[in-house]
Amino acid sequence: MPHAHLAGAAPNIKHMSVVLISPAQEPALAEHMLALLPRSWPAFLLRAGAPNADDPPTDWSRFISDWPAHQLALVEEEVVIATAHAVPLSWDGVVPPDTGWDWAVREAGRGAPLVTLCALAITVAPEAQSRGLSKIALQGLGDVARHHGLQRLIVPVRPNHKHRLPHMSMADYLERRTEDGLPQDPWLRTHIRRGGRIMGVCSRSMQLAGTSADWSRWTGLPLGEDGKHVIPGGLSPLEIRDGIGRYAEANVWVEHPL
């Protein structure tokens, strides 16, 4: 992949053997960035609609097509090994809304002036994990925000060990701390160590729905009975009623200084 530079896009950033490139600079990256998502995220996060059973799933390609200069691909030896998706917002309040991720997707690019960058996801290829690539991506998003004159970087963080305790509230989960007072969750701890500040819990950050047959296909579990079900990768239980499964996930709002 040639590393071209286009006007309006942040300059290429190199960390060791990894180069950060936006699809505004290199449109051919888009296909490879989207292909990484199903390799690293639970299927229901990519395929379920929100919040009604007949809603279409989120169109991740729209982030790249509408805001290519706000996305990043981490490329090593011509291979995309991680990505960072983000959208610009006009919001400049004290604490972002309780609807978190869904709100950011809905409000992306609306209003003026656009003053805040909201990170939606950082994705690392399974074979490239434990190399600190998430930290590099976070730093890259900060560079993107500064390059575009934005004043804030906020993230509806999805704690990566919360799925081990799906019945625990996110507020109680945040109380779990290490001996040095940092969050016990590794991904939250990474954000704090990079200077992030926890602003609060967004308890309805991502709301998803589908038929029980859909959920069975997405999770590989038999999910026909009404009730609450623990699902692989779920931060909270899935609730099925009358053949429709609804999932509401809490995230944690974190702000990073710019």
Residue boundaries of the structural domains of the chain = 13-256
Residue 94 CB-density burial (10 A; 0-12 exposed, 13-18 middle, 19+ buried): exposed
Residue 245 CB-density burial (10 A; 0-12 exposed, 13-18 middle, 19+ buried): buried
pTM of the model: 0.92
**By the 8 A CB rule, do 107 and 115 touch?**
no
For the segment 8-18, the average pLDDT, to the nearest whole number, is 61
Q: Tens digit of pLDDT for each residue in 197-255? A: 999 999 999 999 999 999 999 999 999 899 999 999 999 999 999 999 999 999 999 99
Looking at residue 53, its pLDDT comes to: 78
Return the percentage of the chain with pLDDT > 70, whole number: 94
Vertex 1 angle, CA 155 and 35, to 5° = 50
Looking at residue 13, its pLDDT comes to: 57
For the segment 173-200, the average pLDDT, to the nearest whole number, is 96
Looking at residue 7, its pLDDT comes to: 33
CATH tag for 13-256 (out of 3.40.1260.10, 3.40.50.720, 3.20.20.70, 3.40.630.30)? 3.40.630.30
Q: Tens digit of pLDDT for each residue in 49-108? A: 888 878 889 999 999 999 999 999 999 999 999 999 999 999 999 999 999 999 999 999
